[in-house]
């Protein structure tokens, strides 16, 4: 396994750093928030990102994608994490693309992957139904009626749920909540009758929506993969989501750390830079260790996903768990070490704290992934 970036990945990283720092710096998120932007992201910037090939990083070239793989997408997400960039990258490029590319029917792929890679069509994965990640608890039911599927139930905190053109719904078609068996994946157009989407305002000012399905009817071609086997199709994609989100979280944590380090060198109290106080030094050094471990775990997970190795799931849970713990540690220390200024909305550092907690909860927190890692390891 390679734990160093190759030339292509380094170029992607450099391009992403350049793009995000100039086109979508932290101020861009602040502006979206303060203007209460209805979309919650910059459509023009998203088109530029698509032009750079980033919407289709996980889309095969045959379908118009750039096919840089997870390791490539990880570099983009990490750099986006550094500026807290809001974009459809996660929901559309990281999650929907590989799900459709791997499990979609030929018709679905022909219809959707091209527009996806072109940045013209947005997607959302409607999975969780409560405030904590729990795929097995899926209760939203899809019932076969006259050869069509009829959906009833709710989905909560759906990323990009209110801007997506197509919703990939994880629905229960057999069994009962508590089991990952009996789930199916259904493509539902955002404008389907009976689908009510309510944008939800989270602390990180990103884009999520609660969705309510009241007798929403879709025809059989809406089914992705075979019925009742949705979780098997979904799980590797969730692993990718975890690794990619961990990359984003790593970028945010690294940036928060770097900014804090700068502040420690700059801020003077008692006639010296506060970074000369040993207690702060030691805490900074400990954070560095955690950041380095997280970086290794994230990179290993991305590489394993691209190689479709057996340990990809294990590494994805490792990456997400480490990213969660590191994000929590670093974001808390960053605010504390910035002192009063860190408490002000005017300073950016608090935005890193806010984003960290939402990302921690998305697709399973550290505890969720520790339990999963233990299960995969056989203890």
Partner 1 sequence: MTTEDEFRADTRAWLEAQCPLSMRTPMPEDERVWGGRHASFRHPDSRVWFERMVGRGWTVPTWPREYGGGGLSAAEAIVLKEEMQRLGCRTPLFGFGISMLGPVLLKYGSPAQKAEHLPKIARGEIRWCQGYSEPGAGSDLASLQTKCEDRGDHWLVNGQKVWTSYAHLADWIFCLVRTDTGAKHGGISFLLFDMASAGVEARPIKLISGASAFCETFFTNVRVPKDQLVGRLNDGWTIAKELLQHERGMISEIGRAIGATVPSVDVVAQRYLGDVDGRIVDPVLRDAVARHVMDDHAFQLTLRRAAEESEAGAASGGLSSMFKYYGTEQNKRKFELILKCAGHAALGWEGAGFDESELLACRTWLRSKGNSIEGGTSEIQLNVIAKRVLGLPD
Q: Which of 119, 143, 203, 216 binds partner 1 (CB under 8 A)?
A: 203
The minimum distance between CB 282 and a second copy, in angstroms, equals 5
Neighbours of 338 (CB within 10 A): 21
State which residue, 308 or 377, has the beta carbon closest to partner 1: 377
List the interface residues with partner 1, window 138-197 (CB under 8 A). Answer: 156-157
Q: Which of a second copy, partner 1, none does 260 bind, CB closer than 5 to 8 A by kind?
A: none
Angle between helix 7-23 and helix 43-51 axes, rounded to 10 deg: 160
C-beta neighbour count of 321 within 10 angstroms: 24
What the block records as the tokens of 272 is: 């010296």
Contact criterion met (CB below 8 Å) for 32 and 40 = yes
- Rule CB under 8 A: is residue 22 a binding residue for a second copy? no
Measured between alpha carbons, how far is 51 from 54 in angstroms, rounded to an integer?
A: 7
Q: Name the residue among 197, 17, 163 with its Cα closest to residue 90.
A: 163
Q: What sign results for the dihedral spanned by CA atoms 23, 29, 32, 38?
A: positive
Element (H, E) at 216: strand 208-218
Binding positions for a second copy, 264-283, rule CB under 8 A: 277-279, 281-282
The nearest distance, CB 283 to a second copy, in angstroms, is 9
x/- map, 151-190, a second copy, by CB under 8 A: ----------------------------------------
SS3 220: helix
Q: Given the rule CB under 8 A, which of 40-48, 70-78, 142-150, 343-351 is the region that contacts partner 1? A: 343-351
**Least gap, CB of 221 to a second copy (angstroms):** 49
370 in contact with a second copy (CB under 8 A): no
Site for partner 1 in 290-309 (CB under 8 A): 292-297, 299-300
Q: How far is the CB of 207 from partner 1 (least distance, A)?
A: 13
3 state SS of 242: helix
Say how many Å lie between the first and final Cα of the chain, rounded: 25
In the complex with a second copy, the residue whose CB is nearer, 277 or 361, is 277
- Closest separation between CB of residue 261 and a second copy, Å? 17
Spatial separation of the C-alpha atoms in residues 242 and 244, rounded to whole Å: 5
Tokens encoding 204: 């990180």
Site string for a second copy, 190-219 (x = CB under 8 A): ------------------------------
Residue 152 or 276: the one with the smaller Cβ distance to a second copy is: 276
Which member of 8, 61, 226, 281 binds partner 1 (CB under 8 A)? Answer: 281
Q: How many CB atoms lie within 10 A of CB 278?
A: 7
What six digits make up the tokens of 260? 């804090």
Q: Which residues bind a second copy (CB under 8 A)?
A: 277-279, 281-282
């Amino acid at each position: 396994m390679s734990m160093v970036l190759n030339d292509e990945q380094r170029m992607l990283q450099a391009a992403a750093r350049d793009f995000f720092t100039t086109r979508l710096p932290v101020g861009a998120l602040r502006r979206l928030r303060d203007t209460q932007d209805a979309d919650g992201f910059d459509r023009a910037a998203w088109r530029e990102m698509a032009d750079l090939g980033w919407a289709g990083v996980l889309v095969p070239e045959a379908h118009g994608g750039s096919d840089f793989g997870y390791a490539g997408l990880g570099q983009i997400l990490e750099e986006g994490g550094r500026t807290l960039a809001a974009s459809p990258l996660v929901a559309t490029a990281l999650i929907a693309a590989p799900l459709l590319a791997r499990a979609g029917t030929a018709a679905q792929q022909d219809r959707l992957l091209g527009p996806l890679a072109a940045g013209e069509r947005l997607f959302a994965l409607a999975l969780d139904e409560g405030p904590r990640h729990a795929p097995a608890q899926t209760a939203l039911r899809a019932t076969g009626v006259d050869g069509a599927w009829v959906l009833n139930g709710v989905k909560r905190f759906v990323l990009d749920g209110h801007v997506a053109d197509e919703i990939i719904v994880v629905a229960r078609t057999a069994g009962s909540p508590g089991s990952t068996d009996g789930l199916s994946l259904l493509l539902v157009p955002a404008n389907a009758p009976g689908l009510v989407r309510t944008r939800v305002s989270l602390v990180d000012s990103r884009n999520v929506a609660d969705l309510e399905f009241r007798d929403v009817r879709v025809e059989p071609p809406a089914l992705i993969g075979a019925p009742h086997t949705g979780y098997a199709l979904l799980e590797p994609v969730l692993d990718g989501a975890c690794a990619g989100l961990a990359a984003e979280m790593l970028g945010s944590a690294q940036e928060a750390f770097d900014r804090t380090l700068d502040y420690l060198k700059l801020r003077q109290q008692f006639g010296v830079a506060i970074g000369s106080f040993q207690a702060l030094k030691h805490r900074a050094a400990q954070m560095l260790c955690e950041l380095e471990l997280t970086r290794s775990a994230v990179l290993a997970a991305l590489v394993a996903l691209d190689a479709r190795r057996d340990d990809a799931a294990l590494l994805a849970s490792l990456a997400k768990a480490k990213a969660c713990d590191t994000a929590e540690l670093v974001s808390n220390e960053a605010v504390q070490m910035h002192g009063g200024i860190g408490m002000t909305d005017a300073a950016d550092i608090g935005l890193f704290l806010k984003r960290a907690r939402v990302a921690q909860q998305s697709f399973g927190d550290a505890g969720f992934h520790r339990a999963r890692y233990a299960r995969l390891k056989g203890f």
